[in-house]
Chain A
Amino acid sequence: ETGVTQTPRHLVMGMTNKKSLKCEQHLGHNAMYWYKQSAKKPLELMFVYSLEERVENNSVPSRFSPECPNSSHLFLHLHTLQPEDSALYLCASSQELKANYGYTFGSGTRLTVV
């Protein structure tokens, strides 16, 4: 394990469902991120949190709703998704937002929207 834990690992949901992805880190990191990874595409940044405050929302549709209740936990709430939202959703953390820190990623949640 990397120190960043994502649950569930796999999720199949209908377009009318509501579900949540969970990310947890106990590395003492202050910044957390959601990325989307689709086949043949680079990782797409979705949301950035620093010290529990959202600092970036990268033009993500409102059917994705992040929540960061504390610096160790990050959620991605999903509702009325589309089949094209099927992808690997990755959570990452870093010590700070600053440029000279590597990211620690979780193993991701493989989401399939049917």
Chain B
Amino acid sequence: SQKIEQNSEALNIQEGKTATLTCNYTNYSPAYLQWYRQDPGRGPVFLLLIRENEKEKRKERLKVTFDTTLKQSLFHITASQPADSATYLCALRNSGNTPLVFGKGTRLSVIA
């Protein structure tokens, strides 16, 4: 069966450190993978999209990698801040017009 697994339900890190979140998938061949941030009681907010032929994508303090051999994406937040505390969702879709499928998310807490 198809699965998207985000390895930790919750992750606590110290302010200033790099947070690394993992997204693994099985029985998908995604052409695109996306990451979203969700704050409590709010809808997810789109952060980054990475294509299957891209190894790495950066946006300010965020970095995403995509390894189609390992079937894994890593999401990094460098110099983390308490304001980065939120749930981060991985989402993917195969090529074509299939809608996004989401993982359960990882709740990140950055402690001052």
Please list the residues of chain A having a beta carbon within 8 angstroms of any beta carbon in chain B.
Answer: 2, 4, 6, 33, 35, 40-43, 45, 48, 50, 55-56, 88, 90, 92, 97-100, 102-108, 110
Note all chain B residues with C-beta closer than 8 A to A110.
Answer: 41
Task: List 19 other contacts, CB 8 Å, given A97-B99, A106-B43.
Answer: A2-B45, A6-B43, A33-B99, A40-B104, A42-B4, A42-B89, A43-B89, A43-B102, A45-B100, A48-B99, A55-B97, A92-B43, A99-B31, A99-B94, A99-B96, A102-B46, A103-B44, A105-B45, A108-B43
Q: A40-B104, A99-B93 given as contacts; is B43 within 8 A of A2 (CB)?
A: yes
The 8 A CB mask of B1-28 against A (1 = contact, 0 = none) is 0001000000000000000000000000
What's the Cα separation between A15 and B108 when bound, in Å? 36
Note all chain B residues with C-beta closer than 8 A to A48.
Answer: 99
Interface pair A103/B100, CB less than 8 Å apart: yes
Note all chain A residues with C-beta closer than 8 A to B98.
Answer: 99
Interface pair B94/A42, CB less than 8 Å apart: no
Note all chain A residues with C-beta closer than 8 A to B57.
Answer: none
Interface pair A98/B97, CB less than 8 Å apart: yes
